[in-house]
Amino acid sequence: MDSFELNKILGAVLGTLLFVMGVGFLAEAIYQPIEGRGPGYDLPEPEVADAGPVEEVPAVSLAVLLASASVDRGASAVRKCQSCHNFGEGEPNKQGPNLYNIVGAPKAHAEGFAYSDILLQQQAEGQIWSYDNLDAFLENPRGYAPGTKMAFAGVRSPEERADILAYLQTLSASPVPFPVEEAAPAEEEPAEGDTPAATPGETTPDDTVPSELMTPADGGSEVTTPTAPESAVDTPTTTQSDSPIEGTPVQETTPEAPASGDEEAPADAE
């Protein structure tokens, strides 16, 4: 290859590089962002609606859950525990103790098993595996017994734990009965002699006006009666005696007013 051909190749390469660099400089000049024009338009932040106080749903008691628990579902749920526990009577311990006759038994009851220190301490305190204790342990083993050797996250569903407890109840010659839901206290009845409270709008015996106060006295001229309650029948507040006092002129009651347009008739004097 002679020098002329080599110069052409080098010239083409340099020309291409110069073209690319020129296009890059031109693009930066056209599309370079302009800074220092001040802040842009601030978009309003969306308002978060106040959801109000969250109502707490009352938890269902263990007695209610056990009343509707299923032994068959519990037998299926404990399959996840069969790798560490045996459930048959007389079967040996595995990585965990045998769980036959566990309900109502003292804690750390299996002979020859190396229990955690926390369970040995609870055994010394006289604690037993009641339904409540088993439910708490199944929900969160490390939270119920800190330092336990049981590497199990727990069962979060209350219904599933109730099914497991229903199955564990059957693993005994004398099953421990389920706890019974305590009945709500009955409302106290009013004692004898106490006057029951009156219903709004209902007339009570104390609101009745005596008949002696509603009748004018014999020979009297005018008697003013006490105002009756709203529930009582409206009665005239003044009455006129039938027999006028002697020597005193009595004016008869004014007749009804005439219809509009008619002249008023004068009252006849006695």
Q: Whole-angstrom Cα distance, residue 154 to residue 168?
A: 16
Q: In one letter, which amino acid is 106?
A: P
Q: What are the structural domain ranges in the chain?
A: 62-169
pTM of the prediction? 0.50
Residues 6+ apart with CB under 8 A from 240: 221, 222
Tens digits of residue pLDDT in 102-151? 999 999 988 889 999 999 999 999 999 999 999 999 999 999 999 998 88
Say whether pLDDT at 3 is over 50. Answer: yes
Q: What is the pLDDT of residue 200?
A: 53
CATH number for region 62-169? 1.10.760.10
Would you say 24 and 32 are in contact if contact means Cβ atoms under 8 Å apart? Answer: no
Would you say 257 and 250 are in contact if contact means Cβ atoms under 8 Å apart? Answer: no
Cross-strand partners of 128: 106
Tens digits of residue pLDDT in 170-211? 999 999 999 987 765 555 555 555 555 555 555 555 555 555
Q: Whole-angstrom Cα distance, residue 101 to residue 171?
A: 5
Residues 6+ apart with CB under 8 A from 68: 162
Say whether pLDDT at 58 is over 80. Answer: no
Residues 6+ apart with CB under 8 A from 258: 264, 265
Burial class (CB in 10 A: 0-12, 13-18, 19+), 78: middle
Task: Please tell me what DSSP assigns to residue 125.
Answer: T
